[in-house]
Amino acid sequence: MIASVSGRVVSKGLDHLVVEAGGIGYLVFTTTDILTTTVINDEIRLLTHMVVREDVQALYGFISPAQLQLFSMLISVSGVGPRIGLAVLSSGKVEELRSAIGRGDSAIFTAISGIGKKTAERIILELKSRITDIVDVGVGGSSADIINALSGLGYNMYEIREVLGKLSPDAKVEDKLKEALKLLS
């Protein structure tokens, strides 16, 4: 399993980058925002999800752990494959997509090519409780910021949920993050 690729971007396609790392060029499918902001010869580090099937082996790359996590959740939904997962992530920011799932807003998903009303409703039905567990942890409006910061540092959702319940509810985001890091170490 390839968890990440760090190297130099040697070429770009409509839906992928080729990242050279250790003399090997990895073809990594990625989102449009990553494709548009990446320049050939730039150094890049992508967190990857590897899909191995009978007829294909493919890498899908993301800049943040939040993107990778949402991608993994999306492709766990019946009828949603990696290409549609990338299309969903390309359609908006992770927080907007999580919020849409939490609200039950299927319009954001039906606007994406390849997703009909039934698939959009299935995404919401299957992911709503999982997204709610991630976002609504009882720390106030700053919980998403703390979750993103801690997941970006490599902590898993179990560890994050454990520590969020112990934080001072009236503290500033910065203070909550410092407190969380102390509790996690």
What was the pLDDT predicted at 133? 53
The answer on pLDDT for 173 being more than 90 is no
Give the model confidence (pLDDT) of 25-70 as tens digits.
Answer: 999 999 999 999 999 999 999 999 999 999 999 999 999 998 999 9
Q: Which of 78-82, 135-139, 144-148 has the lowest mean pLDDT?
A: 135-139
Strongest mean pLDDT among 108-122, 129-143, 171-185: 108-122
CATH class given for the domain over 4-62: mainly beta
Which is it for strands 4-12 and 43-52: parallel, antiparallel or unpaired?
Answer: antiparallel
Q: How far is CA 96 from CA 54, 99, 106, 164, 175, in A?
A: 34, 5, 12, 22, 25
Residue 149: Cβ-neighbour burial (10 angstroms; 0-12, 13-18, 19+): middle
What was the pLDDT predicted at 175? 84
Which is it for strands 16-21 and 4-12: parallel, antiparallel or unpaired?
Answer: antiparallel
Mean pLDDT of 141-163: 72
Mean pLDDT of the chain: 87
- Exposed e or buried b per residue across 46-85, where buried means at least 16 C-beta atoms within 10 angstroms of its C-beta: bbbbeeeeeeeebbbbbbebbbbbbbebbbebeebebebb
Instruction: Tell me the percentage of the chain whose pLDDT exceeds 90.
Output: 59
- Cα–Cα distance between 76 and 179 in angstroms, integer? 33
CATH class given for the domain over 65-129: mainly alpha
Which is it for strands 24-30 and 4-12: parallel, antiparallel or unpaired?
Answer: unpaired
Residue boundaries of the structural domains of the chain: 4-62, 65-129, 143-184
Q: Residue 163 — pLDDT band, cuts 50, 70, 90?
A: confident
